[in-house]
Structure 1
Amino acid sequence: MDLRMPGTDGITATRRTLTVGPATSVVALTAFDDDGHLYPALAAGACGSLVKDTPPAALLAAVRRAADGQAPLQP
């Protein structure tokens, strides 16, 4: 879930997604690697967070970890 997108923000979209599909795993995707973006995403129900410049193979691995019930977080 992109945290900054037109129309609605990723925090609101995450909450809405999890209301409709509570078993869904949401991984926040952001250009900002600070706590000010991470904590609201996790509070909204995201299981993890990645920065947008994550290499494709690492992004795919993170999505797979989220699907397996793990919390993909970057340092």
Structure 2
Amino acid sequence: MEALRDNPGEAESRRYQECSDRHANLLVQEEGYWKQRAKMHWLQEGDLNTRFFHMSASARSKNKRVNKLVDEAGTEVHTQEDLCE
């Protein structure tokens, strides 16, 4: 994909967009697969203080965490102290 992106031609640009769209679609499909698999496992195991439950809760917590902010100037802020400002 990088070779297509770096070529300024119209055909390469179109092909890059097609590849990019296909990649995004595959990522959505993969995410759906893992959600479905987790749901199936969750229905089998339930919230029984299991290892799976704790791993699921930890994963959700990590996904919700704010790791960086970008201010109006485009500067990325990463530290907890700077994030709170």
Q: TM tier, shorter chain?
A: under 0.3
Greater RCO between the two (CA within 8 Å, min separation 6)?
1
Q: TM-score, normalised on structure 2? A: 0.21
Quick check: which one's strand share is greater? 1
Pair member with larger Rg: 2
Q: TM-score, normalised on structure 1? A: 0.22
